[in-house]
Structure 1
Amino acid sequence: MAQATAPAQAASAASQTALQEIPFAPAHDTIITTQSAQNAWGGERTGTEPTLSDRVVSYTIDADLDAAKHAVTGKEHMTWRNRSDRAVSSVYFHLYLNAFQNEGSTFFSERKVLTAHGHARGNAVLEKGQWGGIRLQSVQQSGAPLKWSFVHPDGGPATDETVVRIDLAQPVPAGGSLALDIDFLSQLPRVVERTGWWGDFNLVGQWFPKIGVLELPGERGATQVRWNVHEFHFASEFYADFGLYDVHLTVPSDYTVGAVGKLQGAPEQNNGKTTYHFVQGDVHDFAWVAAKGYKTMDGSYAGPGSPKVAVRVIYPSEYEASAAPTLKSTIDSLGYFSRTLGPYPYETVTAVIPPYNADEAGGMEYPTFFTSEGYKVVEPDTVFQTLSDFVNIHEFGHGYFYGILASNEFEEPILDEGLNEYWDNRMLRERKQDLVLATPFTKWLGITPHFSGFAFERLSASLFHPADPLAQNSWDRLSVNSYGTVYSRTATAMHDLEERLGRPALEKAFKLYYQRWHFRHPSVADFRAALIDSSGNAKDVDAIFNQYVYGTAFIDDKLADIDSYEVLPQAGVTWKDGKRTEVDAKELDQQVDKQRSDWEKAHKDAKPGAPGPFPWHSTVTVQRDGVSAPELLRVSFEDGTHQDVVWNDDRRWARFDFVKPSKVVSAELDPDQHNLLDRDRFNNSQTTEPNGAASRRWTADVAALLQSFYALLATM
């Protein structure tokens, strides 16, 4: 038995030495504060290069689906370029499907802990015959068979087999290329999360051996050459080099197929099976779908700077109602993201709607290819239209933040999930599209609660007790709920930064970020630098980054007190020109009474609240429990007027005095809701008279909390 497992368990002393020469990226100390070098990943793409990206890898794959067994037999020819200044004697590959091989994987081990403290996707229980995995059957270099062994870069359980080291027969010299031929068998699991099968539906994602990323000094915080090849964690997604994919897919002829990239020529049929040929350059992953009896709906997009884009929706009959809305929101997203970030560079977009009972395959993104969600009825101005539109916009948006910008989703989910969520809400705001909570039944009753996307994001952002910095990686988190705030807390933080910089300035900064880093791999520090360089406002950018991106700070400013008194003549002794004058209190009372009487006779038609014979002195006190933020204090007076005062300093409390014809009747901090990061907006206002505003706000927030239940389906 030991002899049989030796290739998968042991490594030679020489291989161990080589492993030490090129270390792994840190497993835990992953927050990046240092800007990447200017020439990182080959430098900024100008558009004059022969390819969109600096292609590091290429895959030619022949894959054959056994539909009955939900298994894919694959033959892969991979070429990889060693960008480093040293020879490489071992390479590392992801075998992501092994996360679903058994409960000893890093994925399932972390699921037990993290889901004990919150709800998450990926909670399905696999039964006999439903487990998945990927087996290497042979690996050859120039015809020479190679040995491999499983490694654990992040210190995961010994039973995890999602990262494999392959020891080479001949080292790859600095600047040289490696060619490997790999035979593999991928068994899809029943859908647990992101990939798998249900019935005759097969979403084939993370299904082939994929080489890790060799990072160089000056790239994403690296100070030395290192392998960035993390295990498949429960909350993490993916990271890979750009390259070329040339893939042949053979499936039963009665199955509908969609994939990353563009179909080459007509499919070829033979003995009841059909082979489809897809090619796509300048992407970093490849996924596909094969489903029996599915339908398609087609459209197109044409915009400045983009090729003509063929848009296809693949859907089951049960969710036919979702096909047209998915097509429309995808085309709309192509227009918005192309205009606000950069022209869409590919010729295709494919959206897949999974069937009932395969929801966990929905809400997933790959380059030029994403999965959505299906509904049997999608009526306008209902929660189902809200969910349909938001999921489609969000998953398409990943094509920019995950796809073209190619951030490291393992280590910096803020750059993908977070920034994408923010940009999605900007699109909704531009469309003047609120999130609607109504169902067809409540709509029939005339009840259609709705609110802005940013209002929802704030309520689900865990602002009271943020457990982890936004820049934290995806696995070192208190709970799945903490990971979930990457979406909503980032969107809220970026909203508030936008309010400080101004909308045009913030959009200009994002365009600079995209221009610098498209078809490269930026870090959080690179994003911060682009914001500062574009806006010139390091103070506000650093405040947001230091407090929320790199920290767990909170804002909690509140209205403490409103005090008012009438400014009346005062009793006592005064001196003027050396003469002493004493005013008797009793005489003064009589004088005040006479002034009031005379004023009332002269102003018989005065309305309640109108200025009287004497002015009022009012004091408004505000307090600060969290970090400082620029605040606007709006003070309203009894005569219907108001005055705005800016509170923008580090004081823990402040008093503002007003001497006006009328007294203060109410005051509110941030009336225009610029600071959505304020964790408790209920204490932002105070009134001296009963007011229904607070109860109305409670009603709106309760509706929003109900919506957060539905949004769990959308934030993927």
Structure 2
Amino acid sequence: MAGMTGSRGLWLAALVCGLGWPVLGWAQSAPAPAASTAAPAVASSAPIPFAPAHQTIITTPSAPNAWGGQRTGSEPTLSDRVVSYTIDASLDAAKHQVTGKEHMTWRNRSDRPVSHVYFHLYLNAFANDGSTWFTERRVLTAHGRSRGNARLKKGQWGWVHLQQVEQDGTALKWSFVHPDGGPATDETVVRFDLAQPVPAGGTLALDINFLSQLPRVVERTGWWGDFNLVGQWFPKIGVLELPGERGATQVRWNVHEFHFNSEFYADFGLYDVHLTVPSDYTVGAVGQEQGAPVSKDGQTTYHFVQGDVHDFAWVAAKGYKTLDGSWTGPGSPKVDVRVIYPPEYVGSAAPTLKSTIAALGYFSKTLGPYPYHTVTAVIPPYNAQEAGGMEYPTFFTSEGYKKVEPGTLSQYESDFVNIHEFGHGYFYGIIASDEFEEPMLDEGLNEYWDDRMLRDTHEDITAASPLMKWLGITPTLTAFQMERLGATLRQPADPLAQNSWDRLSSTSYGTVYTRTTTAMHDLELRMGKATMAKAMRLYYQRWRFRHPSVADFRQAMIDGSGDAKDVNEIFDQFVYGTKHIDDRVASIDTRQVLPQAGVTWKDGKPVEADGTALDKQIAKQESDWKKAHPKAKPGSGGAYPWHSTVTVLRDGAQVPELLRVTFADGSHEDVHWNDDRRWARFDFVKPGKVVSAELDPQQQVYLDANKLNDSYATKPNSAASRRWSADVAAVLQAFYSMLVTL
């Protein structure tokens, strides 16, 4: 989801949240058996517990055979398909309601019988103000900014109504539960009491009739006018995790309530879905369309099928247009790319298609070949922007612009959100992390890889209108610099590995994007770009079509780079901790190394140097040197050398730093400060004295909270103020020149 930092949100974060950054001109096993070997050997009849509601941070890597073991590519399917859904759905466009008949099969991967199963009813988050989602929104947005702030009025609420649930023809009872201790009025998780338990390794089949009422778009899903984005709309089974998987030590149900900042988590499976909508509506969905649509009595039925994914969403909108393209690449099938857009945003259609195809190429080359046959991008209409910036497998929503002008902020925003939402197809789709418990694995790593793509394609943020360009003012900012500005580096409230709901505020949740990206940028700085890329490819290969944890990501980084020291340091300080970095140059002290008065011993006898005589000697030698060097700059040399001492202070966590000292003659010397001292002094004895010192002279350590104190000079340098004065004067002169021509 791009809402926290993608596009406009990230640009604003850069403007209002940045602290201390100078303006620079303007991330082999056989197929799994029915019962995974990760389960314990002895079955248990004890009730199966829920995954913890809190204390969700995982530090122990998963077992090698978790989720059936690493996928080799020789298996009959890309993923271990635990679940399948066959759904017939019909849209009442006037009411924005979806009538659904769902046949679900689910395999019990555990070693014990299962008597109760738990399903998500996500749309019930929008049923009333008493849901967990709305309850948390009131608290979290009071202490920070977030998307999803619309107020629902009468007739705009959303919900899922279960009409009938059957197991082999037997009607089942159900009840709402609260795995995370949410309010009693929350109905986003439901328990079905089975007529017959599912044996270990057995398969459950359920038939569910349901009615889904879409909300007016408030976040991620819903309707506006004749636009219907149908996401999280059907009853969806939770994940039964086994010991050795994502920190689990026993069989457990991972089925969290729908939290305000959380997204989703589900098993891989097969989706076979028929969608019936009014014939004058344009339809797009997850997966491949099967055959030609069938029309009858003003209604048209579309058939979509997609395997090896863990969700299904679709769009139905009246009067929408489509723009098609395709992409081919090594190891991938031919990919059909479609953009679905409203007429008012025709200007966004071609740029969206172009950046989506570019992202297909980049992610396939740098991580692994794209494995699906389709990508569908949807541009929501005006007044439904909260439906934009959302991802589902092979399907995402973008943002609309009336005009995308090359080389301006509008192009950057459009490209960024498209790349970001497509990138979720890898970090949320193929590497199916738990977005409830570990959002940094999706939002954070995806944002980091997006920024790498923008860096590699040399696309920076250019906040310049045609008028500004005409005036010669084209401020630019790199993507990584912008992430840093919104990362709240000075006082981070929560570890990056924290779940999505135990957060101080929505602003703190937003650092899942920006602070993760900044931390990965600095880890890359230490490892090297190529080594970081190698480690990320290993992570993708090891965990594609499975469900990794943060601990699994850390292990892949160590194994892929061979650099346990730097990986563990970044993880301990920032992923599992809330450290901050703020190194600074505290002082520069200089003195000439002169002969000293007093007594010294030579050949066992005291020798006394008279101070008055020494003063005369020093004065003469200095005078003689100046006569011999009439053009020498002050402090650049003399009859005697200079002893300079540079003191640096560390107000936060340890980070490897380069200190560059510059001498009066213009030369410089670099030294490394790579230890855990809170302060250090570096001494230099040279012909000239030190006139300035700077930590991180290339300004590459982005985790440093305050870059303004990284440098120190013995004399003020007015070059910056002169430059800005000249720039302002140039703007005024150009403005007055325009006035004269009017």
TM-score under structure 2 normalisation? Answer: 0.90
Q: Deviations over 1:586-633 (max 9, x none)?
A: 222222222222222222344566433221110000111111111111
Are residues 1:128 and 2:159 paired? no
Answer yes or no: is the 8 Å Cα contact 1:384–1:439 preserved in 2. Answer: no
Are residues 1:544 and 2:544 paired? no
CA–CA separation in structure 2 for the residues paired with 1:431 and 1:697: 30
Q: In the alignment, which residue of structure 2 is the partner of 1:245?
A: 271
CA–CA separation in structure 1 for the residues paired with 2:272 and 2:722: 57
Answer yes or no: is the 8 Å Cα contact 2:45–2:112 preserved in 1. Answer: no
Answer yes or no: is the 8 Å Cα contact 2:166–2:208 preserved in 1. Answer: yes
Q: Cα distance, 1:689 vs. partner?
A: 1.5
**AA matched with 2:80:** D
**AA matched with 2:346:** E
Q: Cα distance, 1:240 vs. partner?
A: 0.2
Unaligned runs of 5+ in 2: 1-43, 726-742
**AA matched with 2:159:** G
CA–CA separation in structure 1 for the residues paired with 2:286 and 2:353: 17
Q: Cα distance, 1:683 vs. partner?
A: 1.1
- Pick from 276, 289, 293 the counterpart of residue 315 of structure 2: 289
Q: In the alignment, which residue of structure 2 is the partner of 1:558?
A: 584
Q: In the alignment, which residue of structure 2 is the partner of 1:471?
A: 497
CA–CA separation in structure 2 for the residues paired with 1:266 and 1:627: 61
CA–CA separation in structure 2 for the residues paired with 1:534 and 1:409: 24
- Pick from 437, 440, 449 the counterpart of residue 414 of structure 1: 440
CA–CA separation in structure 2 for the residues paired with 1:577 and 1:272: 115
Say which SS state the counterpart of residue 50 (structure 2) adopts: coil
Q: Deviations over 1:213-254 (max 9, x none)?
A: 010111001111111000000000000000000111111111
Alignment of 1:98-109 (within 5 A): 98-109=124-135
CA–CA separation in structure 2 for the residues paired with 1:694 and 1:341: 42
Q: In the alignment, which residue of structure 1 is the partner of 2:210?
A: 184
Alignment of 1:267-278 (within 5 A): 267-278=293-304
Q: In the alignment, which residue of structure 1 is the partner of 2:685?
A: 659
**AA matched with 1:156:** G
CA–CA separation in structure 2 for the residues paired with 1:189 and 1:102: 11
Q: In the alignment, which residue of structure 1 is the partner of 2:602?
A: 576
CA–CA separation in structure 2 for the residues paired with 1:19 and 1:560: 65
Say which SS state the counterpart of residue 155 (structure 1) adopts: coil
Answer yes or no: is the 8 Å Cα contact 2:633–2:665 preserved in 1. Answer: no
Answer yes or no: is the 8 Å Cα contact 1:148–1:166 preserved in 2. Answer: yes
Q: In the alignment, which residue of structure 1 is the partner of 2:232?
A: 206
CA–CA separation in structure 1 for the residues paired with 2:494 and 2:634: 52
Say which SS state the counterpart of residue 38 (structure 1) adopts: coil
Answer yes or no: is the 8 Å Cα contact 1:19–1:90 preserved in 2. Answer: no
Are residues 1:598 and 2:617 paired? no
Are residues 1:588 and 2:614 paired? yes
Aligned length: 682
Are residues 1:514 and 2:545 paired? no
Are residues 1:329 and 2:375 paired? no
Q: In the alignment, which residue of structure 1 is the partner of 2:184?
A: 158
Are residues 1:60 and 2:118 paired? no
Q: Cα distance, 1:437 vs. partner?
A: 2.3
CA–CA separation in structure 1 for the residues paired with 2:460 and 2:319: 35
CA–CA separation in structure 2 for the residues paired with 1:696 and 1:673: 22
Question: CA distance change for structure 1 residues 19 and 677 in 2, over 3 Å: closer, same or farther?
Answer: farther
CA–CA separation in structure 2 for the residues paired with 1:390 and 1:145: 48
Alignment of 1:416-565 (within 5 A): 416-565=442-591
Question: CA distance change for structure 1 residues 324 and 697 in 2, over 3 Å: closer, same or farther?
Answer: farther
**AA matched with 2:68:** G
Q: In the alignment, which residue of structure 2 is the partner of 1:11?
A: none
Between stretches 348-357 and 608-617, larger displacement belongs to 608-617
Q: In the alignment, which residue of structure 1 is the partner of 2:697?
A: 671
Q: Cα distance, 1:696 vs. partner?
A: 10
Alignment of 1:257-406 (within 5 A): 257-406=283-432
Question: CA distance change for structure 1 residues 151 and 646 in 2, over 3 Å: closer, same or farther?
Answer: same
Answer yes or no: is the 8 Å Cα contact 1:379–1:440 preserved in 2. Answer: no
Say which SS state the counterpart of residue 387 (structure 1) adopts: helix
Question: CA distance change for structure 1 residues 461 and 698 in 2, over 3 Å: closer, same or farther?
Answer: farther
Question: CA distance change for structure 1 residues 693 and 156 in 2, over 3 Å: closer, same or farther?
Answer: farther
Runs (4+) of structure 1 exceeding 6 A deviation are 693-699
Answer yes or no: is the 8 Å Cα contact 1:329–1:393 preserved in 2. Answer: yes
Q: Cα distance, 1:440 vs. partner?
A: 4.1
Say which SS state the counterpart of residue 149 (structure 2) adopts: coil
Q: In the alignment, which residue of structure 2 is the partner of 1:714?
A: none
CA–CA separation in structure 2 for the residues paired with 1:692 and 1:163: 63
Unaligned runs of 5+ in 1: 1-17, 700-716
Q: Cα distance, 1:95 vs. partner?
A: 0.4
Question: CA distance change for structure 1 residues 651 and 383 in 2, over 3 Å: closer, same or farther?
Answer: same
Q: Deviations over 1:62-93 (max 9, x none)?
A: 11111111111111111111111111111111
Q: Deviations over 1:147-197 (max 9, x none)?
A: 111110000011101000011111111101011111111100000000000
Amino-acid identity (%): 77
TM-score under structure 1 normalisation? Answer: 0.93
Q: Deviations over 1:34-69 (max 9, x none)?
A: 110111101100000000000000011111111111
**Which has the bigger relative contact order, CA under 8 A and spacing at least 6?**
2
**AA matched with 2:301:** T
CA–CA separation in structure 1 for the residues paired with 2:254 and 2:708: 45
Q: In the alignment, which residue of structure 2 is the partner of 1:618?
A: 644
Answer yes or no: is the 8 Å Cα contact 1:682–1:694 preserved in 2. Answer: no
Q: Deviations over 1:516-541 (max 9, x none)?
A: 10000000010011111122221111
Question: CA distance change for structure 1 residues 170 and 693 in 2, over 3 Å: closer, same or farther?
Answer: farther
Q: Cα distance, 1:454 vs. partner?
A: 1.1
Answer yes or no: is the 8 Å Cα contact 2:636–2:663 preserved in 1. Answer: no
Question: CA distance change for structure 1 residues 482 and 169 in 2, over 3 Å: closer, same or farther?
Answer: same
Say which SS state the counterpart of residue 208 (structure 2) adopts: strand
Q: In the alignment, which residue of structure 1 is the partner of 2:136?
A: 110
Q: Cα distance, 1:680 vs. partner?
A: 1.3
Q: Deviations over 1:394-414 (max 9, x none)?
A: 111100000000000000001
Say which SS state the counterpart of residue 21 (structure 1) adopts: coil
Q: Cα distance, 1:19 vs. partner?
A: 11
Q: In the alignment, which residue of structure 2 is the partner of 1:706?
A: none
Report the aligned-residue RMSD.
1.6
Say which SS state the counterpart of residue 590 (structure 2) adopts: strand
Q: Deviations over 1:464-513 (max 9, x none)?
A: 11111100000000100010001001001111111111111111111111
